[in-house]
Amino acid sequence: MSGKSYTEHSISLRNLINLIRSMGTISERTISAIESVPRHLFVTEALWHKAYEDMTLPTSDGQTISQPTIVARMTELLDVQSGMKVLEIGTGSGYQGAILAQLTKNVFTIERIGSLAAKARQRFRELGLNTVICREGDGTKGIPDKAPFDRIIVTAGAPVVPDSLLEQLAMNGKMVIPTGPREGQVLERYTKTATGIVHEQFEPLLFVPLIGDEGWKQ
């Protein structure tokens, strides 16, 4: 047992929110979404004391939950508006999906590891996020039968942008994805316009590899 009280979690969350706000690039809407999601419920109880520190934490299935400032940055770049249909590639613990669900009620998320998908579904139910649809499968192929998507976010590092995801992006839609070698990626945003794809590059970062037919091999 962590022994950490509700009040202590609240104080830790407040400190984290202050850190994110101090970045100066994150909107209050995104900050409010992050503040609404109890991060400690997405890691094992043994790690609850670290849940609101700005650090990547392991999950029980050998994956990771991204550090909060990276989650805030990617969520902000995604620019989700109410009513938009959003696709998340790489459900993981479900933390990012839960944050997206604070911004729109039309969230789809896909995870290749069955045990992770099952645990994420349980967390969504426990948090009352019944509108989040979590599927098990190859995320590099997206969810064609639910396309197009107004926004797509990829929470694993891809060698290149999967063609299937670009195809499933709606007109004027945006995709945020880290791409590059396994040793380190660059955060990118792709916007589909009537005249083609607009490509933007941001800061370097490191994610677990995106495994799948249009990503890294196992």
Catalytic positions: 66
Cα(123)–Cα(164) distance, integer angstroms: 28
Q: Are 136 and 110 in contact (CB under 8 A)?
A: yes
Rg, the chain, Cα only: 16
Chain Cα centroid distance, residue 172: 20
Three-state secondary-structure class, residue 13: helix
Cis previous bond, 148, omega within 30:
yes
